[in-house]
Amino acid sequence: MPAYLILGTWTLFTFVALFWIVNASLKTNQQVFRAPFQLPQEFQFVNYENVFKNYNFGMFFGNSLIYVVFSVGLILLISTPA
């Protein structure tokens, strides 16, 4: 029973953190500092646009995706005969 309490607490903490991150990413800077836990009045997807345009996020994401696909493929290739 205590294990379920620990897992439930960890799950709740994780979902609250993810909600906070996504919620903040859809707000303007002023809204984030004025009301950090409220839902945004209107969604600001321009933040995501800025990340892709100004910080070359697409290249970094692509590199990570290639690395993950290669690693998982190699792990499956090695561990399947076992």
Distance CA 69, CA 72 (A): 5
The residue among 53, 52, 29 whose CA lies nearest residue 40 is 29
Task: For residue range 36-76, list pLDDT tens digits in order.
Answer: 889 998 899 999 999 988 998 989 999 999 999 999 999 99
What DSSP letter does each residue of 23-52 carry, written as one string? HHHTS-HHHHHH-TTSPPSS--THHHHHHH
Q: pLDDT at position 1, please? A: 77
Q: What is the pTM of this model?
A: 0.68
